[in-house]
């Protein structure tokens, strides 16, 4: 007696499942690709509604820099944003990340982020300055760190790349 194995229903089911996976993946990619545009659209709308401009239309204060009573409207918008995101099932961490992305799309540059250049030399200069300042601060606080042995070398590299030693510390 010979065993007969039929694979048609299984293969058809697998083929259908792969079709569903493919469709789901394409939907995800389409949604992910559009996220940046949606964030930028929201950022642009916030800038239009809340940025403070002078009489000639020149931006004076960005919405994310507003303080005191001037910030009242943006605080209400942030609360509405949080409420909508929370209602959609997003946790606080995710809500905060999206708000940060909106701020950055509006022109906000987070503290500590390199500005004025994204080339290797600009980044290296900024990182060298950060490292040297960290060593100087530790020394001021009386810490004895191994990095102090290399501080002079780091300062030489910083200066050799065009940095001003007078800006350290």
Distance CA 51, CA 58 (A): 10
Residues 136 and 96 in one domain: no
Secondary structure (3-state) at 109: coil
Same domain, yes or no: 14 and 63: yes
Q: Does 126 share its domain with 150? A: yes
On whether the CB atoms of residues 85 and 99 are closer than 8 A, the answer is no
Q: Are residues 71 and 125 in the same domain?
A: no
Lowest mean pLDDT among 6-15, 103-112, 119-128: 6-15
Q: Is 1 within the bounds of a domain?
A: no
Same domain? For 89 and 130 the reply is: no
Higher pLDDT, 3 or 124: 124
Q: Is residue 52 part of a domain?
A: yes
Q: Which domain holds residue 146?
A: 120-167
Report yes or no on 3 lying in a domain. no
Alpha-carbon torsion, ordered 44, 45, 49, 55, to 10 deg: 40
Count of domains in the chain?
A: 2
Measured in whole angstroms, how far is the alpha carbon of residue 84 from the centre of its chain?
21
14 shares its domain with 78: yes
Q: Summarize the confidence of residues 26-52 as an average pLDDT.
A: 87
Last residue of a domain, one of 52, 75, 105: 105
Asked whether residue 95 falls in the same domain as residue 126, the answer is no
pLDDT value, residue 3: 57
Residues 129 and 97 in one domain: no
- pLDDT above 50 (res 6): no
Q: What is the pLDDT of residues 126-140, one digit of tens each?
A: 899 899 989 888 888
Cα separation of 39 and 42, whole Å? 5
**If you count DSSP H runs as helices and E runs as strands, how many of each does the chain have, helices first?**
5, 2
């Amino acid at each position: 007696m010979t065993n007969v194995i039929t694979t048609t229903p299984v293969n058809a089911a697998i083929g259908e499942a792969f079709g569903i996976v493919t469709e789901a993946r394409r939907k995800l990619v389409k949604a992910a690709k559009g996220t940046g545009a949606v964030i930028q659209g929201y950022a642009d709308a916030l800038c239009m509604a809340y940025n403070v401009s002078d009489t000639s239309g020149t931006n004076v204060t960005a919405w994310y820099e507003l303080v005191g009573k001037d910030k009242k409207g943006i605080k209400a918008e942030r609360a509405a944003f949080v409420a909508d995101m929370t209602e959609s099932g997003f946790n606080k961490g995710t809500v905060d990340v999206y708000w940060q992305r909106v701020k950055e799309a509006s022109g906000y540059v987070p503290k500590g982020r390199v500005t004025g250049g994204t080339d290797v030399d600009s980044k290296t200069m900024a990182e060298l300055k950060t490292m040297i300042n960290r060593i100087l601060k530790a020394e001021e606080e009386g810490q004895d760190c191994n990095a102090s042995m290399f501080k002079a070398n780091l300062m030489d590299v910083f200066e050799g790349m065009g940095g001003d030693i007078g800006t350290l510390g």
